[in-house]
Structure 1
Amino acid sequence: MPRSIAKDHAEKRSHILKVAARIFADQGFARASMSLVAKECGTSKANIYHYYGSKDALLFDILDSYLSSLRDRVLGLPIEDLEPAAQLERVILEFLIAYEGMDYVHKVQTEGIALLDKDRQEILKNYQRELVRHLGAVISKTAPMVFSEEPDKLRPTVMSVFGMINWFYMWNGSAGRKARQDYAGFVTKLALNGVHGL
């Protein structure tokens, strides 16, 4: 008879993911152990293996949970009724808000995707591609003639905006909501109008 799922299964799983992300980020994935994850979670290694059959499975779930949630969050924004510039600002702000408190996961993501098997890598990279495509679609609405005539300019524009978003995350991780709102407006103005528009 299959083992029933405990009522607090999701809560325990979430706790394991948070603890493991911190350990993988601090120790490096290769040096981190399931024993240490169990110890820091205040449980047994056998209990960790009840949730995750391997360290790779745990790594994948950390990244899959985060990236799929980020994808759903950003792509699910109700921005259709906004003007193109306002759509862009709202999407940028959502990234900045979603990044708050996710330092460990971002560090694990930088190292971790390449350590997984190709099938799992592809799942995670597809989330990233969806986010890039979505931001690209939003940006293209702000200057449809430009990107229609010179479509090769869209991707570097999108990745440059991501670069600005990631700069804020790296250097202003403790910033509050107001600072994130202000920076979202700053990036939007800079992307659309250059320094003369600031």
Structure 2
Amino acid sequence: MARGRSPGYDDQREMILRHAAELFARSGYPATSMNEVAEACGLSKPTLYHYFRDKYNLLVHIADGHVSRLQALVEEVEARGLAPEPRLRELIHRFVEEYAEAQHAHRVLTEDVRFLKEEDRDRILGKERAVVSAFASALAQMRPDTEAAGLSKALTMLLFGMINWMFTWLKPDGELNYETMAPIVADLFFGGVPAVSMPALDSLRSRRA
């Protein structure tokens, strides 16, 4: 008869992933050892291996878990059936708030994805592309000429530039926090989008040719 998992098994796994993500984000995946992960978690190495078979397994779970949570946020917002602008605003708010708790995991996703095996990398980046596509779709519905000019994804990536790297300067114990900054990011983006002039279509076509 197979032995069941202890009541705290999932919580212990999440604790390990949090510590591993922080170590990977700070020192890089290649430079971090399982000994360091075990020490940061207050666990013995045999206990650590009971939860994760190796360092690569940790990397996959951190990156996949993070982007899967982002996907779930998109699905929750999409299910509300909001109009394009409120939908995009809600996505911005939810993502900024999520990053407040997932700074290290996000750094791992952006910087250590190159260490993933092709199959894992393709799966995880596929989820990431789906997330970006949801933002770009809401933007294109709000302002269709961005799609016609081939700019909806580019503008979306500029938006992610604001969201993704906020953790490099916004301090957890500072005067500003993510809850305060979320509507500011949305206002800044929406205040600027109407001012964007679309390039002439003939000019774009000639560059693509």
TM-score normalised according to structure 2 size:
0.83
Aligned counterparts of 1:48 and 1:171: Cα–Cα separation in 2: 33
Other-structure match for 1:129? 129
Q: Cα distance 1:132–1:104, how it changes in 2: closer, same or farther (>3 A)?
A: same
Q: CA deviation at 1:123?
A: 1.4
Q: Displaced runs of 4+ in structure 1, greater than 4 A?
A: 78-81
Q: Say if 2:96 and 2:178, in contact at 8 Å, map to a contact too.
A: no
- Partners of 2:108 and 2:115 lie apart in 1 by 10
162, 165, 179: which one aligns with 2:163: 165
1:24 equivalent to 2:9? Answer no
Asked if 2 retains the 8 angstrom alpha-carbon contact of 1:34 and 1:45, the reply is: yes
Match of 1:181 among 165, 183, 193: 183
Q: Against the structure 1 CA distance between its residues 169 and 28, is the aligned structure 2 distance closer, same or farther, given a 3 Å change threshold?
A: closer
| 37-46 or 180-189, larger mean C-alpha shift | 180-189
Distance in 2 (CA, whole Å) between partners of 1:168 and 1:43 is 32
Structure 2: tracts of 5 or more residues without a match: 197-209
What pairs up with 1:102-113 in 2 under 5 angstroms?
102-113=102-113
Amino acid of the structure 1 residue aligned with 2:190: T
Instruction: Write the letter of the residue equivalent to 2:152.
Output: L
- CA separation in 2, counterparts of 1:133 and 1:153? 12
Return the alpha-carbon distance in structure 2 between the equivalents of residues 161 and 192 of structure 1.
14
Query: Are 1:53 and 2:79 an aligned pair?
Result: no
TM-score norm. by structure 1 comes to 0.88
Residue 183 (structure 1) shift: 2.3
Deviates more, 1:125-134 or 1:1-10: 1-10
Supply the RMSD in Å over aligned alpha carbons.
2.1
The 1:182/1:92 distance shift into structure 2, 3 A limit, reads same
Letter in 2 for 1:67: V
Separation in structure 1 between the aligned mates of residue 22 and residue 10 of structure 2, nearest angstrom? 19
1:57-92 Cα offsets, whole Å, 9 max, x none, are: 011101111110111112321575433222221111
Partner of 2:96: 96
- Post-superposition Cα deviations, 1:86-145, rounded to whole Å, max 9, x if no partner, equal 22211111111111132221222222111010011011101111111101111111112x
Give me the whole-angstrom Cα distance separating, in 2, the residues matched to 1:56 and 1:29: 9
Look up the match of 1:149: 148
SS in 1 for 2:32: coil
In the aligned structure 2, how far is the partner of 1:186 from the partner of 1:21?
Answer: 30
Q: How many equivalent residue pairs?
A: 193
Partners of 1:120 and 1:9 lie apart in 2 by: 24
C-alpha distance in structure 2 between counterparts of 1:148 and 1:118, whole Å: 31
Please give the secondary structure, in 2, of the residue aligned with 1:104. helix
Task: Look up the SS of the partner of 1:29 in the other structure.
Answer: coil
How far the C-alpha of 1:156 sits from its partner, in A, is 1.3
Letter of the structure 2 residue corresponding to residue 177 of structure 1: E
Contact 1:147 1:154 in 2 (8 A): yes
CA distance in 2, matches of 1:176, 1:61: 25
